């Protein structure tokens, strides 16, 4: 019997005046937008699971917040506290990928088993080892997060997933969906109202799928920022859609510029919303 998850989207930060073209390829004439940053909380069968976990505004995280223009930030720990969750309560963290805004607080959860694609972990080690002229590849990765993942491995708290895995946890599956990064994955969750997919950064915006307003109506449009190929990105879009039988309302977009209008906003902390999905 599969676990049925209770699922919330937790917003914790916002980038200001981000070019739309950094999210959706070719939208150079669109006005800049305020982009939300979020992660997902899934609770069920005695487990408290985070799908990505946000970043801390300390150490390199504080520099990243400046570098990427993210003035509005509330600690992910404070947002979880609003849901009566302490860091030690978190049993599992399933990371879509290792960019700082998705993996930048893994060191805050001492009991959590961390799940990451093997290709994601190894590709970042390979990329960091390249000469400095390649360093644009690692611009969005905090080396301290890679160190934290390595530390977790010494404590047997890091699981390197190699490709697709059904029921990584009961009712929670992952699909390798490279393109944004070399080992990006998305996560599906079974809930009382059916399956939802947490997109990670497989897509940034619904417009990557719909082509709306891009001159590409009904065609996939690549990401504005990614280190893998456009070809892989589009195949991953399709895999994401297929995972929810083509129902785009069941795809949770972590940087959704429309701020999840289909989900009920159940809490707020300093303007950051917590939304109930199921
Ligand atoms: Zn990313």
Environment of ion ligand 1 (residues, CB < 5 A): 99, 201
In angstroms, what is the span from residue 77 Cα to ligand 1's centroid?
Answer: 20
- Here the tokens at position 94 are 């399933």
- Asked if residue 168 is part of any domain, the answer here is yes
- From 23, 21, 18, select the one nearest 253 (Cα to Cα): 23
Which of 278, 272, 275, 215 lies closest to 75, judged by CA? Answer: 272
Calculate helix-pair angle for 143-154, 118-129, nearest 10 degrees: 130
Q: What is the pLDDT of residue 21?
A: 94
Three-state DSSP state, 88? helix
Contact assessment for residue 38 and residue 254, using Cβ atoms and an 8 Å cutoff = yes
Which two tokens mark 113? 């088993």
pLDDT of residue 215: 87
Separation of CA 146 and ligand 1 centre (Å): 14
Q: What is the pLDDT of residues 47-82, one digit of tens each?
A: 999 999 999 999 999 999 999 999 999 999 999 999
Both structure tokens of 258: 């429309």
Q: Cα(165) to centroid of ligand 1, in Å?
A: 21
**Ligand 1 center from residue 181 Cα (angstroms):** 7
How many Å lie between the centroid of ligand 1 and the Cα of residue 215?
Answer: 25
Query: Region 26-53: what's the mean pLDDT?
Result: 96
Distance CA(37)–CA(96), nearest Å, equals 14
CA of 171 to the centre of ligand 1 (A): 25
What's the CA-to-centroid distance between 180 and ligand 1, angstroms?
7
Residue 1 resides in a domain: no
Mean pLDDT of 165-184: 98
Chain centroid to Cα 129, Å, comes to: 25
Contact 99, 120 (CB under 8 A): no
Q: Where are the beta strands (DSSP E) in 136-215?
A: 158-161, 165-169, 172-176, 185-191, 194-198
182 within some domain: yes
Q: How many domains does the chain have?
A: 1
If 0-12 CB within 10 Å is exposed, 13-18 middle and 19+ buried, where does residue 110 land? Answer: exposed
| pLDDT of 43 over the 80 cut | yes
Q: Answer whether 209's CB lies under 8 Å from 198's CB.
A: no
Residue 208 C-alpha to ligand 1 middle, in angstroms? Answer: 15
Give CA–CA dist 261/235, Å, rounded: 27
pLDDT in tens, 124-147: 999 999 999 999 999 999 999 999
CATH assignment of the domain containing 39: 3.60.15.10
Task: Report the share of the chain in percent with pLDDT over 90.
Answer: 97
Environment class of residue 101 by beta-carbon count within 10 Å: exposed (0-12), middle (13-18) or buried (19+)? buried
| Residue 248 within a domain | yes
For residue 207, the model assigns a pLDDT of 96
Domain span holding position 32? 6-276
Tell which wins on pLDDT, 214 or 270: 270
pLDDT of 1 strictly over 70: no
Chain segment 228-265, per-residue pLDDT in tens = 999 999 999 999 999 999 999 999 999 999 999 999 99
| CA dist 151 → 22, 135, 145 (Å) | 33, 23, 10
Nearest-angstrom CA–CA distance, 166 and 183: 17
In a domain, 228, yes or no: yes
Residue 62 backbone phi and psi in degrees, to 5:
-65, -40
What is the pLDDT at residue 100? 98
Centroid of ligand 1 to alpha carbon of 41 (angstroms): 18
Burial of 156 per CB tally in 10 Å (0-12, 13-18, 19+): exposed
Portion of the chain with pLDDT greater than 70, in percent: 100
pLDDT range class, residue 103, cuts 50, 70, 90: very high
């Amino acid at each position: 019997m599969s676990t049925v998850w209770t699922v919330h989207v937790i917003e914790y930060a916002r980038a200001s005046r981000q070019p739309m073209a950094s999210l959706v390829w070719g939208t150079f004439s669109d006005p800049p937008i305020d982009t939300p940053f979020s992660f997902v909380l899934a609770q069920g069968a005695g487990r408290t699971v985070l799908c990505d976990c946000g970043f801390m505004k300390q150490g390199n995280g504080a520099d990243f917040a400046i570098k990427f223009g993210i003035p509005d930030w509330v600690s992910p720990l404070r947002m979880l506290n609003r849901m009566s969750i302490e860091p030690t309560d978190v049993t599992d963290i399933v990371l879509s990928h290792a960019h700082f805004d998705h993996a930048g607080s893994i060191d805050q959860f001492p009991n959590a088993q961390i799940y990451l694609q093997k290709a994601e972990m190894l590709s970042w080690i390979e990329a960091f080892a390249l000469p400095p002229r390649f360093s644009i590849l690692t611009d969005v990765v905090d080396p301290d997060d890679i160190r934290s993942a390595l530390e977790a491995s010494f404590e047997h708290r890091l699981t390197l997933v190699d490709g697709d895995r059904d029921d990584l946890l009961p009712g929670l599956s992952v699909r390798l969906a490279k393109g944004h990064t070399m080992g990006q994955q998305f996560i599906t969750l079974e809930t009382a109202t059916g399956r939802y997919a947490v997109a990670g950064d497989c897509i940034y915006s619904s417009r990557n799928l719909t082509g709306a307003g891009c001159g590409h109506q009904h065609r996939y449009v690549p990401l504005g920022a990614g280190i893998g190929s456009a070809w892989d990105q589009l195949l991953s879009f399709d895999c994401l859609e297929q995972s929810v039988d083509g129902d785009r309302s069941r795809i949770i977009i972590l940087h959704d510029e429309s701020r999840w209008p289909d989900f009920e906003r159940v809490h707020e902390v300093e303007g950051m919303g917590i939304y109930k999905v199921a």
